[in-house]
Chains A and B, each alone.
Chain A
Amino acid sequence: MTLSTNESDDDRLDRAFVALGDPVRRAIIARLSTGPATVNELAEPFSITTQAISRHIQVLEQAGLVTRSRDAQRRPVHLAPAELERLTAWIDRYRLGTEQRFRALDAVLTTTRSTERKDPS
Chain B
Amino acid sequence: MTNPVTITAPQGLPFIDITREFDAPVAAVFDAYRDPELFARWVGPRDLGIQLEHYDFSTGGGYRFLNTDDHGNTFGFNGVFHVVRENEFAIQTFEFEGVPDVVSIESMTLTPLDGDRTRLSIHAVYPSLEARDGMIASDMESGMREGYEKLDELLAEKAAKPA
Contact = CB atoms under 8 A, between A and B. Distances in A.
Interface of A: 16-21, 23-24, 26-27, 29-34, 45-48, 65, 79, 84-85, 87-88, 90-91, 93-110, 112-114
A16 B145 CA distance: 13
Interface in B25-69: 28-29, 31-32, 38, 41-43, 46-48, 67, 69
Contact of A101 (B38, B42, B47): B42
Nearest to B18: A98
Contacts of B42: 101-102, 104-105, 107-108
27 contacts: A21-B142, A23-B47, A23-B75, A23-B142, A26-B142, A29-B134, A30-B96, A32-B134, A33-B131, A33-B135, A34-B99, A79-B130, A91-B7, A94-B136, A95-B143, A97-B46, A97-B143, A99-B5, A102-B3, A103-B150, A104-B42, A106-B3, A106-B23, A108-B32, A108-B42, A112-B24, A114-B161
A105 B143 contact: no
Chain A interface mostly helix, strand, loop or mixed? Answer: helix
A47 B136 contact: no
Listed from nearest, the 6 A-B pairs whose CB atoms lie closest are A97-B143, A33-B134, A20-B141, A104-B42, A96-B147, A26-B138
A100 B143 contact: yes
Interface in B111-139: 120, 130-131, 133-139
A106 B2 contact: yes
Contacts, number: 176
Contact of B32 (A16, A21, A109): A109
A115 B158 CA distance: 14
A108 B37 CA distance: 10
Contacts of A101: 42-43
B99 A31 contact: yes
Contacts of A105: 22, 29, 32, 42
B159 interface: no
B114 to A, nearest CB: 17
B140 A93 contact: yes
Contacts of B32: 105, 108-109, 112
